[in-house]
């Protein structure tokens, strides 16, 4: 069955990987292409995702194993009845065991596949063995039943524990694609926090990048615009793993005009 809808999920247990940071670029990219999306916020400690997108993101609370299973059952029943092309799920740290248990016990990968809904797992490898083990466990569980986007975050992982590893080769063999997050200056990151404090709510990257909105000064908003453009190009290149086929068409290649022929100039013979 062809894929008619996508669910974006990062079930990694480790926190402070840049997951919410990357999701902001991705949702801005979806908006840029006018892709109908909505989401779920499973980070009951912060609710940043729902706060930034209150009109399209619903919050859920993950408690103990049974409570998490109930919450995820409610979430996916709603997603399967929905018509949005993409559903983005933002999870809290240390929730991977709860999420994987629910996926298995509710047979969600199989049920979704039967309805033309396919998962894309976003994986954030870092320098430590815990992260590598976590990524490997997710891959062993899901196999070829999901698609994979590997997100490299130079601000969090400066070594090459993942690059060139057997795990990376296996993921690439299964069609995984990669993107690399741009680094924002500490000045801009601090200004973003101050802007949210003044607004008394979380602000999306799209809001922060709008100079006319007045959240950031021109130079800082410009840096976010630059970062968004960097990510948009990468997302365009892997659009087949992010949205159902046919929603985003590759830009037509414009033929480069041939350079005008240079007139043949008379040659001087200095030996005469």
| pLDDT for the residue 170 | 93
Domain membership of residue 218 (yes or no) is no
Domain membership of residue 205 (yes or no) is no
Those residues with Cβ within 8 angstroms of residue 137's Cβ, 6 or more apart along the chain or in another chain: 96
Q: Structural domain of residue 53, as residue ranges?
A: 5-181+238-242
Domain membership of residue 143 (yes or no) is yes
Domain membership of residue 194 (yes or no) is no
pLDDT in tens, the chain (272 residues): 689 999 999 887 666 778 889 999 999 999 999 999 999 998 877 788 999 999 999 999 887 888 888 988 999 999 999 899 999 999 877 777 888 888 888 899 999 999 999 999 999 888 777 778 888 888 988 999 999 999 998 887 665 678 888 989 999 999 999 999 999 999 999 999 999 999 998 999 999 999 998 999 999 999 999 999 999 999 999 999 999 988 876 554 444 444 444 444 444 343 43
| pLDDT for the residue 155 | 81
Domain membership of residue 33 (yes or no) is yes
Burial class, 132, CB count within 10 angstroms (exposed 0-12 / middle 13-18 / buried 19+): middle
Q: What is the count of structural domains for the chain?
A: 1
Torsion-angle region of 192 (φ positive above 0: left; ψ -120 to 50: alpha; else: beta) = alpha
Domain membership of residue 186 (yes or no) is no
CA distance 211 to 217: 7
Those residues with Cβ within 8 angstroms of residue 184's Cβ, 6 or more apart along the chain or in another chain: 223, 224, 227
Could you tell me the pTM of the whole model?
A: 0.85
Q: Which CATH number covers residue 92?
A: 3.40.50.300
Render the burial of 200-232: b for 16+ CB within 10 Å, e for the rest.
eebbbbbbbbeeeeebbeeebbebbeebbeebb
Do the beta carbons of residue 17 and residue 94 sit within 8 Å? no
> For 147-187, how does the pLDDT look when each residue is reduced to its tens digit (9 = 90+)?
999 999 888 766 567 888 898 999 999 999 999 999 999 99
Domain membership of residue 209 (yes or no) is no
Domain membership of residue 220 (yes or no) is no
CA distances from 103 to 28, 138, 188 (A): 28, 11, 38
């Amino acid at each position: 069955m062809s894929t008619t809808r996508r669910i974006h999920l990062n079930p990694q247990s480790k926190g402070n990987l840049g997951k919410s940071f990357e999701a902001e670029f991705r949702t801005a990219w979806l908006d840029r292409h006018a892709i109908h999306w909505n989401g779920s916020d499973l980070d009951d400690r912060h609710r940043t995702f729902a706060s930034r997108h209150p009109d399209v993101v619903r919050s859920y609370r993950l408690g103990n194993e049974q409570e998490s299973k109930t919450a995820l059952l409610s979430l996916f029943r709603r997603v399967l009845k929905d018509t949005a092309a993409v559903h983005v799920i933002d999870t809290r740290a240390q929730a991977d065991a709860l999420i994987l248990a629910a996926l298995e016990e509710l047979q969600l990968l199989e049920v979704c596949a039967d309805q033309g809904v396919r998962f894309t797992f976003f994986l954030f490898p870092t320098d430590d063995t815990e992260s590598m083990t976590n990524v490997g466990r997710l891959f062993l569980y899901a196999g070829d039943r999901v698609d994979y986007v590997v997100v490299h975050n130079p601000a969090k992982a400066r070594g090459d524990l993942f690059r060139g590893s057997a795990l990376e080769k296996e993921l690439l063999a299964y069609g995984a694609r990669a993107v690399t997050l741009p680094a924002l200056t500490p000045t801009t990151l601090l200004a973003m926090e101050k802007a949210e404090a003044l607004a008394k709510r979380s602000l999306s990257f799209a809001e922060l990048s709008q100079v006319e909105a007045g959240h950031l000064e021109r130079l800082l908003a410009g840096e976010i615009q630059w970062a968004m453009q960097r990510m948009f190009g990468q997302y365009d290149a892997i659009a087949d793993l992010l949205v159902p086929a046919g929603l985003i068409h590759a830009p037509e290649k414009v033929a480069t005009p041939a350079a005008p022929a240079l007139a043949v100039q008379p040659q001087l013979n200095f030996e005469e």
